[in-house]
Amino acid sequence: MNYLEVAEAKDLPGLRLVLTAHVPGPWGESAKKILEYKRIRYAPVAQYAAKANEDLVAWTGVRNAPNAMYADEPPRTGWYDILMLAERLAPERPLLPTASEDRVQVLGISAEICSEWGFGWARRLMMGTPYAGTPDPVRVAGLSRPPWTAEDIARMRAGYSASVGGPAQAPARCADILLMLTERLRRQKARGSPYLVGETITACDIYWTVFSMALEPLPPAVNPMPDWMRMSYEMIGPVIEAASDPILLTHRDFIYARHLSLPLDF
Ligand SMILES: N[C@@H](CCC(=O)N[C@@H](CS)C(=O)NCC(=O)O)C(=O)O
């Protein structure tokens, strides 16, 4: 993907989406796939993982990504705010149901996947800890390394480590979310629906499809993520492994095949 730098993007009209450049960040990829599904055009703008991103902070007040900047409206950085903007810009391809009872389900599932202490957050807390499993030393020796200084790593830790639970609780939290998704997909299948809620695709199908990379990344041919990132996403550890049902990845494959494009482009 070709990214604009902040200086090139900040005075452009329309929608600019700030994304972590050259890696498939789950929150950024979800925003991209929602806009793709809705056929909303945007200008991609680079954020550099773990770096200070001073020009971005000066423009938006926010260091990380994603960050949707629409016209002269305030920045939207949370998954819910970005989804609501997308719903407004392309209501003809809705990803939220209209009935409140159904919205509760879609937004509740989405929060379990994307919000603080949700699946993505808890998986990130595990990365690089014993709870993720033991890295294979032979493989590690051959891997590229993230271009991060000690200061960058400290910055990431400061941004993402505090939450309701820590690395020790994260595997059980992830496993519980996976069991919820599995049960729901089974019930929906028995009712004749291939979607998580109701009879059509909704936002939570897209969030799960993208965030499933933290359970099992798509193969390199369609997801050329850096090796070091692939390895940390693959190291799920025994608790999550025990909670991983094939229906979860079957659902991912179905949503990509029916509704979204591959390969990932980041
Ligand atoms: N604000 C987002 C989450 C954003 C987020 O966690 N971004 C991470 C993705 S791993 C990021 O930008 N990491 C790179 C960095 O911090 O430089 C939301 O709450 O929906």
CATH of the domain at 17: 3.40.30.10
My answer on whether 124 and 252 are in the same domain is yes
Q: Mean pLDDT for the chain?
A: 96
My answer on whether 141 and 207 are in the same domain is yes
User: Which among 19, 27, 82, 228 is the best mutation to test ligand 1's pocket, defined by most ligand atoms within 8 Å of the CB?
Assistant: 27
My answer on whether 107 and 162 are in the same domain is yes
- In this structure, the residue with its CA closest to atom 14 of ligand 1 is 49
Task: Name the band, by pLDDT with cuts 50, 70 and 90, for residue 99.
Answer: very high
My answer on whether 106 and 14 are in the same domain is no
**240 domain residue, yes or no:** yes
CATH code of the domain in which 190 resides: 1.20.1050
pLDDT confidence of residue 145: 85
- Ligand 1 pocket, Cβ-based, cut-off 6 angstroms: 20, 25, 27, 49-50, 64-65, 77-79, 114, 156, 159
**265 domain residue, yes or no:** no
CA geometry: angle at 109 spanning 243 and 113, to 5°? Answer: 60
Q: Check pLDDT > 90 for residue 128.
A: no
Mean pLDDT, residues 6-22? 97
215 CA distance to ligand 1 middle (Å): 18
pLDDT confidence of residue 165: 93
**95 domain residue, yes or no:** no
Whether the Cβ atoms of residue 181 and residue 208 lie closer than 8 Å to each other: yes
pLDDT confidence of residue 17: 98
My answer on whether 46 and 135 are in the same domain is no
Whether the Cβ atoms of residue 118 and residue 176 lie closer than 8 Å to each other: no
pLDDT confidence of residue 143: 86
**123 domain residue, yes or no:** yes
pLDDT single digits (tens) 18-70 = 999 999 999 999 999 999 999 999 999 999 999 999 999 999 999 999 999 99
Residues with Cβ within 8 Å of residue 47, at least 6 apart in sequence? 18, 19, 20, 21, 53, 56, 63, 64, 65, 67
Closest ligand 1 atom to residue 67 Cα is 1
- In this structure, the residue with its CA closest to atom 19 of ligand 1 is 78
Put the strands of the sheet holding 43-47 in their side by side order.
43-47, 15-20, 67-70
Beta carbons within 10 angstroms of residue 56's beta carbon: 25
My answer on whether 135 and 246 are in the same domain is yes
Structure tokens at 213: 């990379």
Rounded percentage of the chain residues whose pLDDT exceeds 70: 100
My answer on whether 36 and 81 are in the same domain is yes
Mean pLDDT, residues 161-179? 94
**264 domain residue, yes or no:** no
- In this structure, the residue with its CA closest to atom 4 of ligand 1 is 65
Question: In which domain, by residue range, is 56 found?
Answer: 6-89
99 CA distance to ligand 1 middle (Å): 30
User: Alpha carbon of 246 to those of 237, 250, 251: distances in Å?
Assistant: 17, 6, 9
My answer on whether 78 and 139 are in the same domain is no
My answer on whether 49 and 174 are in the same domain is no
Q: Check pLDDT > 90 for residue 133.
A: no
**94 domain residue, yes or no:** no
Per-residue DSSP letter, 130: G
Rounded percentage of the chain residues whose pLDDT exceeds 90: 89
193 CA distance to ligand 1 middle (Å): 32
Task: Name the band, by pLDDT with cuts 50, 70 and 90, for residue 73.
Answer: very high
User: Which among 64, 127, 157 is the best mutation to test ligand 1's pocket, defined by most ligand atoms within 8 Å of the CB?
Assistant: 64
Q: Check pLDDT > 90 for residue 126.
A: yes
Alpha-carbon gap, residue 175 to 162, rounded angstroms: 20
Total residues found in the chain within this entry: 266
Number of structural domains (the chain) is 2
My answer on whether 219 and 112 are in the same domain is yes
pLDDT confidence of residue 139: 83
pLDDT confidence of residue 264: 98
**Domain boundary, last residue among 58, 89, 120:** 89
pLDDT single digits (tens) 211-259 = 999 999 999 999 999 999 999 999 999 999 999 999 999 999 999 999 9
**131 domain residue, yes or no:** yes
Beta carbons within 10 angstroms of residue 88's beta carbon: 9
**Domain boundary, last residue among 89, 118, 146:** 89
pLDDT single digits (tens) 56-70 = 999 999 999 999 999
Closest ligand 1 atom to residue 116 Cα is 19
Q: Check pLDDT > 90 for residue 161.
A: no
**214 domain residue, yes or no:** yes
**Domain boundary, last residue among 89, 119, 140:** 89
Q: Looking at per-residue confidence, does 244 or 144 come out higher?
A: 244
138 CA distance to ligand 1 middle (Å): 30
Alpha-carbon gap, residue 155 to 127, rounded angstroms: 15
My answer on whether 180 and 212 are in the same domain is yes
pLDDT confidence of residue 157: 87
pLDDT single digits (tens) 202-213 = 999 999 999 999
My answer on whether 66 and 156 are in the same domain is no
